[in-house]
Chain A
Amino acid sequence: MQFDQLYQEIILEHYKRPHGRGLREPFGGEAHHVNPTCGDEVTIRVAVAGDKLTDVSYEGMGCSISQASASVLHDLLATLPVDEALKVHDAFVELMQGRGQVEPDEELLGDGVAFSGVARYPARVKCALLPWMAFKDAAVRAGVTVGPEVKA
Chain B
Amino acid sequence: MTSLAIPSTFDVAALRADFPILGREVNGHPLVYLDSANTSQKPRQVLDVMRTHHERHNGNVSRSVHTLGTEATLAYEGAREKVAAFINAPAASEVVFGKNSTEAINLLAYAFSNASATADSDPRFRLGPGDEVVISEMEHHSNIVPWQLLCERTGATLRWFRVTDDGRLDESELDDLVNERTKLVSIVHMSNILGTINDPARIVARAHEVGALVLLDGSQSVPHFPVDVQALGVDFIAFTGHKMLGPTGIGVLWGRAGLLDAMPPVLGGGSMIETVTMEKSTFAPAPARFEAGTPPIVEAVGLGAAIDYLNDIGMAAVQAHEHEITAYALEALATVPTLRIFGPTTPEGRGGTISFALEGIHPHDVGQVLDDEGVEVRVGHHCARPVCVRYGVPATTRASFYVYTTTEEVDALVRGLDRVRKVFG
Q: Which residues of A contact B (CB under 8 A)?
A: 3, 6-7, 12, 15, 37-41, 61-65, 121, 124, 127
What are some 30 contacts across the A-B interface (CB < 8 A)?
A3-B27, A3-B369, A3-B372, A7-B365, A7-B369, A12-B424, A15-B424, A37-B380, A38-B363, A38-B394, A38-B395, A39-B381, A39-B385, A39-B388, A39-B394, A40-B362, A40-B364, A40-B394, A41-B394, A61-B394, A62-B362, A62-B364, A62-B394, A63-B362, A64-B364, A64-B424, A65-B364, A65-B365, A124-B368, A127-B364
Collect the chain B residues with CB atoms within 8 Å of residue A64's CB: 362, 364-365, 424
Distance of A6 Cα from B345 Cα, bound (Å): 34
- Cross-chain contact of B365 among A41, A61, A63 (Cβ < 8 A): A63
Task: Tell whether, in the assembled complex, residue A38 and residue B368 are in contact, meaning their CB atoms are under 8 Å apart.
Answer: no
Nearest CB in chain B: distance from A61 CB, A:
6
Distance of A127 Cα from B236 Cα, bound (Å): 40
Task: Tell whether, in the assembled complex, residue B365 and residue A38 are in contact, meaning their CB atoms are under 8 Å apart.
Answer: no
Nearest CB in chain B: distance from A129 CB, A:
14
Q: Which residues of B contact A (CB under 8 A)?
A: 27, 362-365, 368-369, 372, 379-381, 385, 388, 394-395, 423-424
Task: Tell whether, in the assembled complex, residue B364 and residue A124 are in contact, meaning their CB atoms are under 8 Å apart.
Answer: yes
Nearest CB in chain B: distance from A15 CB, A:
8
- Cross-chain contact of A38 among B364, B369, B423 (Cβ < 8 A): B364
Contact count A vs B, C-beta below 8 Å: 47
Distance of A3 Cα from B381 Cα, bound (Å): 24
- Cross-chain contact of A121 among B363, B368, B379, B394 (Cβ < 8 A): B368
Of chain A, the residue at the smallest CB distance from B380 is A38
Nearest CB in chain A: distance from B387 CB, A:
12
Nearest CB in chain B: distance from A35 CB, A:
9
Task: Tell whether, in the assembled complex, residue A63 and residue B364 are in contact, meaning their CB atoms are under 8 Å apart.
Answer: yes
- 6 additional A-B residue pairs with CB within 8 Å, beyond A7-B423, A63-B362: A3-B27, A37-B380, A39-B380, A39-B395, A63-B364, A121-B368
Of chain A, the residue at the smallest CB distance from B362 is A63
Distance of A121 Cα from B367 Cα, bound (Å): 13
Nearest CB in chain B: distance from A11 CB, A:
10
Task: Tell whether, in the assembled complex, residue A12 and residue B423 are in contact, meaning their CB atoms are under 8 Å apart.
Answer: yes
Of chain A, the residue at the smallest CB distance from B388 is A39
Collect the chain A residues with CB atoms within 8 Å of residue B388's CB: 39
Distance of A133 Cα from B291 Cα, bound (Å): 43
Collect the chain B residues with CB atoms within 8 Å of residue A62's CB: 362, 364, 394
Collect the chain A residues with CB atoms within 8 Å of residue B395's CB: 38-39
Of chain A, the residue at the smallest CB distance from B383 is A37
Of chain A, the residue at the smallest CB distance from B395 is A39
Collect the chain A residues with CB atoms within 8 Å of residue B380's CB: 37-39
Nearest CB in chain A: distance from B51 CB, A:
30
Collect the chain A residues with CB atoms within 8 Å of residue B379's CB: 38
Distance of A64 Cα from B420 Cα, bound (Å): 12
Of chain B, the residue at the smallest CB distance from A39 is B394
Collect the chain B residues with CB atoms within 8 Å of residue A41's CB: 394
Of chain A, the residue at the smallest CB distance from B364 is A63
Distance of A37 Cα from B381 Cα, bound (Å): 7
Collect the chain A residues with CB atoms within 8 Å of residue B394's CB: 38-41, 61-62
Collect the chain B residues with CB atoms within 8 Å of residue A124's CB: 364, 368
Distance of A101 Cα from B203 Cα, bound (Å): 57
Of chain A, the residue at the smallest CB distance from B373 is A3
Collect the chain A residues with CB atoms within 8 Å of residue B385's CB: 39
Distance of A115 Cα from B394 Cα, bound (Å): 23
Of chain B, the residue at the smallest CB distance from A127 is B364
Of chain A, the residue at the smallest CB distance from B385 is A39
Distance of A127 Cα from B395 Cα, bound (Å): 14
Distance of A24 Cα from B171 Cα, bound (Å): 45
Distance of A7 Cα from B422 Cα, bound (Å): 13
Collect the chain B residues with CB atoms within 8 Å of residue A12's CB: 423-424
Distance of A3 Cα from B29 Cα, bound (Å): 13
Most-contacted residue by chain B among A12, A15, A38 (CB, 10 A): A38
Of chain B, the residue at the smallest CB distance from A38 is B380
Task: Tell whether, in the assembled complex, residue A38 and residue B381 are in contact, meaning their CB atoms are under 8 Å apart.
Answer: yes
Of chain B, the residue at the smallest CB distance from A64 is B365
Distance of A61 Cα from B395 Cα, bound (Å): 11
Distance of A63 Cα from B363 Cα, bound (Å): 7
Nearest CB in chain A: distance from B287 CB, A:
35
Most-contacted residue by chain A among B362, B363, B385 (CB, 10 A): B362
Most-contacted residue by chain B among A15, A63, A65, A127 (CB, 10 A): A63
Distance of A40 Cα from B364 Cα, bound (Å): 10
Collect the chain B residues with CB atoms within 8 Å of residue A37's CB: 380
Distance of A124 Cα from B369 Cα, bound (Å): 13
Distance of A121 Cα from B27 Cα, bound (Å): 13
Of chain A, the residue at the smallest CB distance from B27 is A3
Distance of A139 Cα from B363 Cα, bound (Å): 30
Nearest CB in chain B: distance from A13 CB, A:
12
Distance of A134 Cα from B396 Cα, bound (Å): 24
